[in-house]
């Protein structure tokens, strides 16, 4: 009974925040904005959702606030990279640093505590069939994103903007507008991911609680080639590897080995997928 | 005014007394253990009509800088909490023989005239909690969730298993470690680890997952299982789920330690266990009734646990310490 | 939803004015790109806009198309005042532009590219079937056949050009602006393009054509406007003017056009290629001797680029043998080849030939940094600068200082930089691809003279060009590539445009005799016909 | 001369630092603190007599990691695996220090070299993934980092563990197996090594053939490939140098107080991220990287000092640092291989 329903549920829980954030990352990637600030945007979502839920007593308002706050936060990337043509990688890293500093700082000023804010009366998201509504939403989002990207007018334009912004511009499609939209939507999705983590997976806020999940989302975007279904598979792979890792500890594997497992599995998956691509599209031999 | 931190030190009103500096290895935050240390040093300052400062570190680099800064400020006693400081204190104690150091929860390997230590025998308390778990478990499976697989944290899991087996020999035991990229903060991972035990039928969980404890409690609550907290009374965070807590009276150790040093008996190591009242269970203290702990409703269990405690205090029962190899 | 069609002929006669620019002035920091330019384009005409590099043609078109705001001046379209804030405004007014560098989405299909931003929809989704239908319709109507489902990135340039035009037609453009549309086309493709343009004009559409090629202008246009230094210096009726007159207007001096240079005196075989195969190249035999220029003609996409890349060491060779000065270099790295005496001017000067963000000095040092400029691994900045100054002087590159970034150079100057850098290697073998693409007449002459002088100094030159007049003017022998093979070979005097054109189109009439004529035997009977 | 001064004043760097300081001051006023006192505490705490030692110690690691990441970045390669390479360097140095039969001074040299070799070898692994398996360097280096950290953690906890210690740490290195320190300070000879590395980088970048090739590759990879710069080879070389430097930082950490490998102590202060940001901000230019590293070290050490002397939390300096970066990044843009290409 290694692969039981608990394992699946555990994998699904691990997957949801990563999937939501990675979908946002994929949209940005498609629009030609390299977004590695997912981690920071998620953390802002965590903090806002907990704060709002605490003061209003409503987890759903928390979710809403998280989406809005993370979207507002994502404006740093949009303005910096799109309008001011700054370097998206530097901005993303700065946003991750800023989110850690800012949420810790606010945790001290708002709640007067350090480290963790937790209270039994903090209301979390309800569970439906063992998962939060956001978990289902994440799956729906995959479908919507897939259809939008491949079939909808906006998706076509977004893909065009990402591939050749000046070509889009000459046809009257404003690349900046689409890039802004993609970044803001990724903000919303990361906000939801944060809310899922702080009000769904657990019901509390602790400093740096995203703990690298945003980076995994970045990797999932690459592994899934920025296609919604690909991203889903990548996140699923990661979720399963992590959940299986927890179980493997039970079988006596050292914690260090199970910690490393998801990364090794992901790397292996990357090898396999790129190897297949290399076989199907042989020798683009020119070094250039 | 936020820019004036230690009223006692900046104001001249009470400056006649002694000065103490507490250096922590991590941010105090919600770390109950460190909070108690702060309480202890504040109480000592009050008692000796003196002043105190708290330097919070976050990593080895800041630990080093804070100890350096503390030494340069030359307070009467520098209090350091945690085994992270063993090397640093040894180095500084040699360099500054006039400076008094008080180490809590750890000690230098060599002894120094100016280093006093207070250590705890948490395993005794954890053992008793394990016994409660063994008595209360319906499935006959009790587990623990630790931050990391280190000897220090194994003190919270191995004796727990031993205690349970002592009262119910057939008990199955298992331990999970949070691990991951930030093991001390990752409540979501802690919750998943707890879930992986709960899904196997474990119904009593020792939670030694630092900030992740809240995750463990949530997991237990969701499955109707029970958990055990550490350091202080954590029952109010999840009433009906947290059975009991292994209390570690860091505040007492700090206060008494400072007294000892000021009293001229530096260079000693005091060990706090059940006997000295440095380690206890919430259930064994006064005020169990209002503690919101599940154990308050299990007087029979408490009776048996009290008997075990008396045996340990009397030295008739010895609990193995996983950190002593 | 189907976008409106052009029904230009219905409201006005063919003599109506389609586009009228008055007093357009556009200033960039340090440059007056357009200085009170007037331009009138009539309905149903093909209007050529000419001028040297940097004369302000692209800027004027950008202003017309709403990509740049003029500092002064007015635009009237179909007699109405227009104020374009963006290309979409211009498109709405019936303008359409094909840019010098194609503005296409490589990963999207032809149909998607054509309908992009003007999509037929069903329930908000792109109606792909309708898009495909639309492409087929337009293609049939205008003789622009292309598979609607092909990925644009996999199409040859000629077909991409068609996609660009289909895009405009789909939007119902009544005035088409084409910026150097034939720079990358072969004569046959260019002719096909002009046939399309003429039929569009006949339907009452107008075409503004920016180009450097006099032949096209004379054959294809109705009027010519010539710009120099941002000002209009001539307005000519094509039927009443000549190549010399236009050239003189552009440069401000008399220029000799389409010179056929005297043949060289071939010596030893420098480059010997036998049975070479690589991606898209099969069994190529050729030899280049010192003191001769061998030209390779061919429609783009027939393996010329791959052949040159394989020779330059940038693409692995799958079969055959290549020797340089009798040393086997079949599998040598690019660096080894350069050290053994190969220099290379690549086709794409922006993406491959230079680092636009680096200084002129750094760009000029590439390659030399390994040989003359460095000793024992060191590369003193002073010697890099000195070297740059020497080359700037020697090749007449217009750069304020060696420290300005290469982006600050005009296309023609950048090309001079590139050619000068490679010539300065004094390598026995020079590979040159499209040396004068998008370069104005004055610069073309300069570059041609440099190449001839290089040949006459006893070097071997392998020239790949889609420009037949260039090949004919420079090459001592001409090879034609078709579908990855050398299918024909001509001596200097035999290479007339007609037979070359036929061979490039795949007529293997002369395929029989190549192996003997390709080995480099000199054609002594060639005459200099300046 | 005047021109240069006014140019420097108008540069984005000055602007960003001032903007960061200003926004930070607003934060301070918002929480009721006095900005002058707080900033004064940062400066005296990091540059004063008591703080400069700590600043230089922290600076050693930050600069080391910044150089490690700047060198490949100069050619457009992003190495996100600094943590793994540094930790492997540290644990290898610890093993060497513990088991080397040589006399102490030679053991120190050997441990440094072994640490560098381990870091280099591991970084080369990421480069091989890119060169031969088609996994972009950014991802391969990041993903490889985690198992390396886990491995070192495992070694420190089990085979090399200090018996009886509650801390996951290796046994202490034998007496004398340590980098010499300057006087009583915590500043070790490691600083000299790292500064020498910076000087070597500066020289290579400005005055050597390979430096030129690296710069040109960063500005246009296709251009340098066309001219015969072999990309795979260059990737391998740069990653090995990068990994070696990261390994050196790890080894220096282990060969300094407390003279052992303590699990987590190399990675917890976040030198890799700080170093990467310093390198990115300076567009990997040698001098800029040096200055940015020093600036960040000042902020980190000063922030802690500020927290000790005033009530202002040190997160403020973290926020300050991030704001400066955001401002700088938004106004700076330099060529690098586009992320899309890397996928
Ligand atoms: N965005 C710009 N910023 C500054 N200067 C510019 C800009 N665009 C063009 N210029 C300058 O304006 C002048 C006219 O350039 P334009 O592109 O119109 O020339 P062109 O006639 O199209 O040249 P070519 O034949 O090379 O295409 C040149 O001196 C050029 O350097
Ligand atoms: N942003 C800019 N700043 C300065 N000069 C510019 C800028 N954009 C374009 N130019 C200049 O405008 C001129 C014309 O640009 P254009 O894009 O038409 O290239 P070009 O000269 O036609 O070269 P090519 O034909 O090779 O593409 C060039 O001299 C170029 O250097
Ligand atoms: Mg132009
Ligand atoms: Mg041009």
Q: Is residue D230 less than 8 Å (CB to CB) from chain C? A: yes
Closest among C234, C199, C235, C203 to C220, alpha carbons compared: C199
Residue-level pLDDT at D338: 36
Q: Does D135 sit within 8 Å of A271, measured CB to CB?
A: yes
Buried/exposed B244-259: b ≥16 CB within 10 Å, e otherwise: bbbbbbbbbbbbbbbe
B191 to chain A: which residues are within 8 Å by CB?
201-202
Say which ligand is closest to the CA of C407: 2
**Confidence band of C279 (pLDDT split at 50, 70, 90):** confident
Closest residue (by CA) to atom 27 of ligand 1? C53
ipTM for the predicted complex comes to 0.83
Closest among D241, D267, D70, D62 to D150, alpha carbons compared: D267
Q: Does D139 sit within 8 Å of A95, measured CB to CB?
A: no
Q: Is residue A111 less than 8 Å (CB to CB) from chain B? A: no
Round to whole Å and give the CA distance between D97 and D178.
9
Q: What are phi and psi of B141, to 5 degrees?
A: -130, 120
The pTM of this model reads 0.85
Chain C residue whose CA is closest to D229: C335
Round to whole Å and give the CA distance between A24 and A30.
10
Q: Is residue A164 less than 8 Å (CB to CB) from chain C? A: yes
Round to whole Å and give the CA distance between D140 and D308.
40
CB pairs under 8 A between A and D: 147
CB B157 within 8 A of CB B220: no
pLDDT digit string (tens) for C391-435? 999 998 988 899 999 988 877 889 999 999 999 999 999 999 999
Res. A286: pLDDT tops 80: no
C25 strand-pairing partners: C72
Q: Does B27 sit within 8 Å of A114, measured CB to CB?
A: yes
For chain C positions 280-319, those within 8 Å of chain D (CB to CB) are 312-314
Closest residue (by CA) to atom 17 of ligand 1? C58
My answer on whether omega of the bond before D258 falls inside 30° of 0, hence cis, is yes
Measured torsion, CA atoms of residues D207, D213, D218, D224, in degrees rounded to the nearest 10: 150
Query: Which of C305, C364, C366 has the highest number of chain D CBs within 10 A, making it the mutation to test binding with D?
Result: C366
CB C65 within 8 A of CB A119: no
Chains B, C in contact, 3 or more Cβ pairs below 8 Å: no
Res. A276: pLDDT tops 90: no
CA angle B297, B299, B300 (to 5 degrees): 125
Residue-level pLDDT at D30: 81
Q: Which long-range contacts (CB under 8 A, 24 or more apart) does D269-272 make?
A: D269/B58, D269/B59, D269/B60, D269/B61, D269/B62, D269/D58, D269/D61, D269/D300, D271/D61, D271/D62, D271/D64, D271/D65, D271/D82, D271/D86, D272/D65, D272/D69, D272/D82, D272/D83, D272/D86, D272/D246
For ligand 1, whether the C-beta of C473 sits within 6 Å is no
Q: Which long-range contacts (CB under 8 A, 24 or more apart) does A260-264 make?
A: A260/D146, A260/D147, A260/D150, A260/D151, A262/A216, A262/A238, A263/D143, A263/D144, A263/D146, A263/D147, A264/D143, A264/D147
Q: Is residue A282 less than 8 Å (CB to CB) from chain C? A: no
Element spanning B246, H or E = strand B242-248
What is the whole-number distance in angstroms between the Cα of residue C100 and the centre of ligand 4? 7
Count of Cβ atoms closer than 10 Å to residue B310 Cβ: 12
* Sequence-ordered list of residues with C-beta below 8 angstroms from that of D323, at least 6 positions apart, any chain: A98, D19, D20, D23, D24
Round to whole Å and give the CA distance between D57 and D297.
9
Round to whole Å and give the CA distance between A23 and A21.
5
The B279-281 sheet, strands edge to edge? B172-177, B141-146, B204-208, B226-231, B242-248, B279-281
Q: Is residue C347 less than 8 Å (CB to CB) from chain A? A: no
Round to whole Å and give the CA distance between C90 and C102.
18
C334 to chain D: which residues are within 8 Å by CB?
225-228, 230
CA distances from C446 to C235, C451, D343 (A): 27, 9, 43
Written as six digits, the tokens of A167 are 């070509």
* Sequence-ordered list of residues with C-beta below 8 angstroms from that of B70, at least 6 positions apart, any chain: B21, B23, B53, B55, B78
For ligand 1, whether the C-beta of C51 sits within 6 Å is yes
Buried/exposed C201-236: b ≥16 CB within 10 Å, e otherwise: beebbbbbbbbbbbbbbbebbbbbbbbbebebbbeb
What is the whole-number distance in angstroms between the Cα of residue C55 and the centre of ligand 1? 7
Query: Which of A158, A214, A260, A261 has the highest number of chain D CBs within 10 A, making it the mutation to test binding with D?
Result: A260
Residue-level pLDDT at D6: 54
Q: What is the DSSP letter of A116?
A: E
pLDDT digit string (tens) for D253-282? 999 988 999 988 899 888 998 999 889 888
CB C50 within 8 A of CB C89: no
Element spanning C133, H or E = helix C128-142
The mean-pLDDT minimum among A6-10, A61-65, D71-75 falls in A6-10
Q: Calculate the average pLDDT of chain D.
A: 88
Chains D, C in contact, 3 or more Cβ pairs below 8 Å: yes
Strands (E), D56-188: none
Residue-level pLDDT at A256: 86
Q: Is residue A212 less than 8 Å (CB to CB) from chain B? A: yes
The B51-56 sheet, strands edge to edge? B51-56, B19-24, B77-81, B100-104, B115-120, B269-272
Q: What are phi and psi of D69, to 5 degrees?
A: -90, -25
Chains in contact with C, where contact means 3 or more Cβ–Cβ distances below 8 Å, are A, D
Could you list which residues have their CB under 5 Å from ion ligand 4? C 411, 438
pLDDT digit string (tens) for C139-193? 888 888 889 999 998 887 778 888 999 999 999 899 999 988 887 777 777 888 8
* Burial (0-12, 13-18, 19+ Cβ within 10 Å), A44: buried
What is the total residue count of chain A? 288
Task: Name every protein residue with a CB atom under 6 angstroms from any ligand 2 atom.
Answer: C 53-54, 58, 100, 409-411, 438
List chain B pLDDT tens, one digit each, 325 residues.
333 344 444 333 445 589 999 999 988 877 788 989 999 999 999 999 999 999 999 888 899 999 999 999 999 999 999 888 999 999 999 999 999 999 999 899 889 999 999 999 999 999 999 999 999 999 999 999 999 888 888 999 999 999 999 999 999 999 999 988 778 878 889 999 999 999 999 999 999 998 889 899 999 999 999 999 998 899 998 999 999 999 999 999 999 999 999 998 899 999 999 999 999 999 999 889 899 999 999 999 999 999 999 999 999 999 998 877 5
Element spanning C52, H or E = none
What is the whole-number distance in angstroms between the Cα of residue C413 and the centre of ligand 4? 11
- Crossing angle of the two packed helices D82-99 and D104-133, in degrees rounded to 10: 150
For ligand 1, whether the C-beta of C101 sits within 6 Å is no
Q: Which long-range contacts (CB under 8 A, 24 or more apart) does C63-69 make?
A: C63/C21, C63/C24, C63/C26, C63/C34, C64/C19, C64/C21, C64/C90, C64/C95, C64/C177, C64/C208, C65/A170, C65/C90, C65/C95, C65/C97, C65/C177, C66/C90, C67/A169, C67/A170, C68/C26
Round to whole Å and give the CA distance between C404 and A178.
34
Res. A76: pLDDT tops 80: yes
Chains C, A in contact, 3 or more Cβ pairs below 8 Å: yes
Q: Which residues of chain D carry a pLDDT beneath 50? A: 1, 333-343
Closest among C349, C348, C273, C342 to C313, alpha carbons compared: C342
Q: Does A97 sit within 8 Å of D325, measured CB to CB?
A: yes
Percent pLDDT > 90 in chain C is 58
For ligand 1, whether the C-beta of C439 sits within 6 Å is no
Task: Reduce the secondary structure of A261-274 to three states and give it as a string.
Answer: HHHHHHHHHHHHHH
Residue-level pLDDT at C15: 55
Task: Choose the residue to mutate in C27, C407, C444 for probing ligand 2, maximizing ligand atoms within 8 Å of C-beta.
Answer: C407
Place of tokens 């492409």: C135
* Burial (0-12, 13-18, 19+ Cβ within 10 Å), B164: buried
CB B305 within 8 A of CB B284: yes
Written as six digits, the tokens of B116 are 């006093």
B9 to chain D: which residues are within 8 Å by CB?
none
What is the total residue count of chain B? 325
Counting from 1 in the atom list of ligand 1, the atom nearest the Cα of C68 is 1
CA distances from C508 to C280, C511, D235 (A): 18, 5, 46
Count of Cβ atoms closer than 10 Å to residue D291 Cβ: 15
Q: Is residue D231 less than 8 Å (CB to CB) from chain A? A: yes
Query: Which of B2, B26, B28, B30 has the highest number of chain A CBs within 10 A, making it the mutation to test binding with A?
Result: B30
Residue-range domains of chain C with CATH: 1-94+176-257 (3.40.50.300), 99-173 (no CATH), 269-341+427-529 (3.40.50.300), 359-425 (no CATH)
Residue-level pLDDT at D331: 65
Chains in contact with A, where contact means 3 or more Cβ–Cβ distances below 8 Å, are B, C, D
What is the whole-number distance in angstroms between the Cα of residue C84 and the centre of ligand 2? 22
Q: Does A260 sit within 8 Å of D330, measured CB to CB?
A: no
Closest among D246, D253, D267, D261 to D116, alpha carbons compared: D246
Q: How far is C374 from chain D (nearest CA, A)?
A: 7
Residue-level pLDDT at B284: 93
Measured torsion, CA atoms of residues B134, B137, B139, B141, in degrees rounded to the nearest 10: -40
For chain D positions 24-43, those within 8 Å of chain B (CB to CB) are 31-34, 37-38
Q: What is the DSSP letter of A79?
A: I
CB C140 within 8 A of CB C18: no
For chain A positions 127-186, those within 8 Å of chain D (CB to CB) are 162
Round to whole Å and give the CA distance between B76 and A182.
59
C49 strand-pairing partners: C210, C225
B143 strand-pairing partners: B174, B205
Residue-level pLDDT at C505: 73
The C319-324 sheet, strands edge to edge? C281-289, C269-278, C319-324, C327-328
């Amino acid at each position: 009974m290694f692969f039981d329903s608990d394992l699946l549920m555990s994998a699904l829980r691990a997957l949801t925040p990563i999937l939501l954030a990675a979908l946002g990352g994929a949209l940005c990637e498609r629009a030609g904005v390299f977004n590695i600030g997912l981690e920071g945007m998620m953390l802002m979502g965590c903090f806002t959702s907990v704060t709002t839920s605490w003061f209003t007593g409503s987890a759903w308002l928390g979710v809403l606030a998280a989406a809005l706050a993370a979207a507002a936060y994502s404006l740093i990337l949009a303005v910096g990279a799109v309008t001011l043509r700054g370097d998206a990688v530097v901005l993303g890293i700065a946003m991750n640093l800023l989110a850690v500093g800012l949420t810790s700082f606010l945790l001290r000023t708002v709640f007067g505590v350090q480290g963790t804010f937790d209270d039994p009366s903090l209301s979390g998201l309800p569970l439906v069939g063992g998962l939060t509504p956001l978990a289902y939403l994440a799956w729906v989002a995959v479908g919507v994103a897939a259809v939008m990207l491949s079939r909808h007018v906006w998706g076509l334009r977004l893909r065009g903007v990402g591939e050749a912004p000046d070509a889009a511009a000459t046809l009257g499609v404003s690349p900046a507008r689409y890039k802004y939209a993609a970044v803001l939507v990724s903000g919303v999705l990361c906000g939801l991911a944060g809310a899922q983590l702080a009000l769904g997976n657990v019901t509390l806020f602790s400093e740096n609680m995203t703990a690298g999940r945003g980076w995994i989302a970045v990797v999932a975007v690459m592994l899934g080639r920025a296609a919604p279904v690909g991203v889903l598979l990548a996140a699923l792979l990661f979720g399963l590897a992590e959940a299986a890792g927890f179980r493997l500890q039970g079988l006596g594997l050292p914690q260090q080995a199970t910690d490393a497992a998801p990364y090794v599995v992901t790397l292996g998956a990357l090898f396999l997928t790129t190897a297949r691509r290399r076989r199907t599209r042989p020798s683009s031999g020119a070094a250039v | 005014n936020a820019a004036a931190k230690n009223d006692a030190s900046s104001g001249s009103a009470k400056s006649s007394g002694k000065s103490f500096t507490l250096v922590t290895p991590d941010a105090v935050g919600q770390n109950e253990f460190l909070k108690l240390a702060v309480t202890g040093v504040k109480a000592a300052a009050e008692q000796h009509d003196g002043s105190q400062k708290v330097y919070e570190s976050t990593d080895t680099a800041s630990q080093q800088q804070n100890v350096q800064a503390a030494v340069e400020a030359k307070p009467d006693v520098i209090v350091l909490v945690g085994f992270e400081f063993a090397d640093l204190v040894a180095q500084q104690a040699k360099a500054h023989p006039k400076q008094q150091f008080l180490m809590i929860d750890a000690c230098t390997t060599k002894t120094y005239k100016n280093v006093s230590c207070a250590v705890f025998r948490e395993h005794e308390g954890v053992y008793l909690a394990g016994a409660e778990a063994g008595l209360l478990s319906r499935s006959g499976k009790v587990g623990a969730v630790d931050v990391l697989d280190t000897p220090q944290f194994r003190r919270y899991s191995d004796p727990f298993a031993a205690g349970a087996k002592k009262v119910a020999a057939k008990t199955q035991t298992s331990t999970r470690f949070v691990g991951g990229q930030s093991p001390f903060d990752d409540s979501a991972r802690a919750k998943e680890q707890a879930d992986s035990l709960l899904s196997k039928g474990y119904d009593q969980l020792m939670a030694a997952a630092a900030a992740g404890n809240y995750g463990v409690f949530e997991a237990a609550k969701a499955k109707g299982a029970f958990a055990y907290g550490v350091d202080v009374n954590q029952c109010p965070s999840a009433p009906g789920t947290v059975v009991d807590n292994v209390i570690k009276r860091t505040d007492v150790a700090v206060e008494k330690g400072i007294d000892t040093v000021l009293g001229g008996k530096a260079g000693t190591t005091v060990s706090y266990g059940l006997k000295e009242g440095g380690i206890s269970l919430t259930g064994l203290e006064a005020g169990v009734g209002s503690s919101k702990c599940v154990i308050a409703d299990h007087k029979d269990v408490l009776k048996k646990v009290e008997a075990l405690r008396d045996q340990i205090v009397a030295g008739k029962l010895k609990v193995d310490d996983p950190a002593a190899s | 939803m189907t976008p409106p069609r052009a029904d230009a002929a219905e409201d006005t006669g063919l003599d109506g004015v389609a586009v009228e620019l008055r007093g357009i002035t556009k200033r960039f920091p340090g440059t007056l790109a357009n200085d009170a330019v007037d331009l009138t384009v009539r309905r149903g005409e093909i209007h050529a806009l000419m001028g040297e590099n940097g004369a302000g043609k692209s800027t004027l078109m950008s202003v017309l198309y709403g990509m740049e705001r003029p500092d002064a001046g007015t635009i009237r379209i179909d007699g109405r005042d227009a104020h374009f804030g963006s290309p979409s405004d211009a498109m709405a007014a019936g303008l359409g532009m094909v840019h010098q560098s194609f503005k296409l989405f490589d990963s999207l299909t032809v149909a998607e590219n054509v309908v992009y931003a003007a999509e037929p929809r069903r329930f908000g989704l792109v109606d792909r079937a309708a898009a495909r239908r639309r492409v087929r319709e337009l293609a049939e109507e205008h003789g622009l056949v292309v598979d609607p489902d092909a990925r644009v990135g996999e199409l040859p340039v000629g077909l991409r050009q068609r996609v660009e035009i289909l895009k405009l037609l789909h939007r119902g453009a009544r005035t088409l602006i084409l910026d150097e549309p034939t720079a990358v086309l072969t004569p046959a493709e260019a002719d096909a393009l002009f046939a399309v343009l003429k039929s569009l004009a006949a339907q009452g559409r107008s075409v503004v054509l920016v180009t450097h090629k006099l032949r096209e202008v004379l054959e294809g246009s109705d009027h010519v406007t010539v710009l120099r230094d941002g000002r209009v210096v001539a307005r000519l009726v094509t039927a009443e003017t000549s190549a010399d007159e236009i050239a003189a207007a552009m440069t401000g001096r008399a220029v000799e056009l389409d010179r056929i240079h005297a043949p060289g005196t071939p010596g030893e075989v420098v480059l010997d290629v036998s049975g070479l195969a690589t991606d898209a190249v099969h069994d190529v035999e050729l030899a280049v001797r010192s003191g001769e220029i061998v030209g390779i003609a061919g429609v783009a996409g027939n393996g010329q680029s791959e052949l040159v890349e394989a020779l330059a060491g940038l693409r692995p060779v799958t079969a055959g043998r290549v020797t340089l000065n009798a040393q086997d270099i079949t599998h040598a790295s690019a660096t080894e080849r350069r050290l053994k005496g190969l220099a290379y001017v690549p086709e794409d000067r922006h993406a491959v030939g230079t680092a636009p963000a680096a200084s002129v000095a750094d760009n000029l040092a590439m390659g030399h940094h390994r040989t003359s400029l460095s000793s024992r691994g060191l590369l003193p900045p002073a010697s890099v600068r000195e070297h740059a100054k020497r080359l700037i002087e020697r090749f007449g590159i217009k750069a304020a200082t060696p420290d300005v970034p290469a982006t600050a150079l005009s296309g023609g100057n950048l090309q001079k930089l590139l050619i000068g850098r490679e010539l300065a290697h004094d390598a026995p073998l020079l590979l040159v691809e499209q040396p004068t693409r998008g370069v104005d007449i004055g610069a073309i002459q300069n570059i041609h003279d440099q190449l001839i002088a290089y040949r006459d100094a006893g070097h071997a030159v392998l020239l790949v060009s889609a420009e037949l007049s260039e090949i004919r003017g420079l090459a001592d022998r001409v090879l034609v590539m078709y579908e990855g093979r050398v299918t024909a070979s001509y001596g200097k005097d035999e290479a007339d445009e007609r037979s070359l054109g036929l061979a490039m189109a795949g007529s293997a009439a002369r395929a029989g005799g190549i192996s003997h004529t390709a080995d480099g035997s000199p054609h002594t009977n060639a005459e200099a016909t300046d | 001369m005047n021109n240069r001064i006014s140019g420097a004043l108008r540069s984005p760097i000055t602007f960003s630092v001032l903007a960061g300081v200003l926004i930070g001051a607003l934060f301070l006023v918002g929480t009721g603190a006095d900005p002058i006192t707080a900033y004064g505490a940062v400066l005296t705490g990091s540059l004063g007599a008591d703080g400069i030692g700590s600043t230089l110690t922290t600076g050693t690691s930050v600069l080391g990691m910044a150089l490690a990441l700047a060198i490949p970045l100069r050619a457009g390669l992003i190495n996100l695996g600094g943590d793994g390479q540094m930790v492997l360097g540290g644990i290898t140095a610890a093993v060497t220090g513990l088991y080397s039969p040589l006399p102490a001074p030679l053991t120190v040299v050997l441990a440094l070299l072994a640490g560098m070799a381990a870091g280099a070898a591991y970084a080369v692994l990421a480069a091989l993934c890119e060169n031969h398996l088609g996994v972009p360097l950014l991802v391969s280096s990041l993903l490889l980092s985690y198992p390396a950290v886990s491995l070192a953690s495992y070694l420190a906890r089990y085979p090399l563990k200090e018996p009886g210690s509650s801390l996951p740490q290796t046994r202490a290195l034998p007496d004398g197996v340590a980098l010499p320190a300057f006087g009583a300070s915590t500043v070790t000879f490691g600083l000299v090594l790292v500064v020498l590395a910076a000087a070597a980088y500066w020289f290579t970048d400005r005055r050597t053939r390979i430096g030129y090739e690296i710069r040109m590759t960063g500005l246009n990879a296709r251009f340098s490939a066309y001219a015969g710069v072999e990309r795979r080879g260059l990737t391998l070389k740069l990653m090995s140098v990068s990994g070696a430097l990261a390994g050196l930082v790890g080894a220096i950490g282990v060969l300094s107080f407390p003279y052992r490998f303590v699990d987590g102590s190399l990675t917890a202060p976040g030198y890799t991220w700080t170093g990467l940001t310093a390198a990115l901000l300076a567009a990997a230019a040698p001098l800029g990287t040096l200055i940015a590293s020093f600036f960040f070290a000042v902020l980190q050490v000063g922030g802690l000092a500020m927290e000790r002397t005033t009530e202002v939390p040190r997160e403020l300096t973290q926020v300050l640092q991030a704001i400066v970066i955001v401002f700088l990044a938004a106004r700076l843009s330099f060529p690098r291989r586009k992320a899309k290409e890397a996928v």
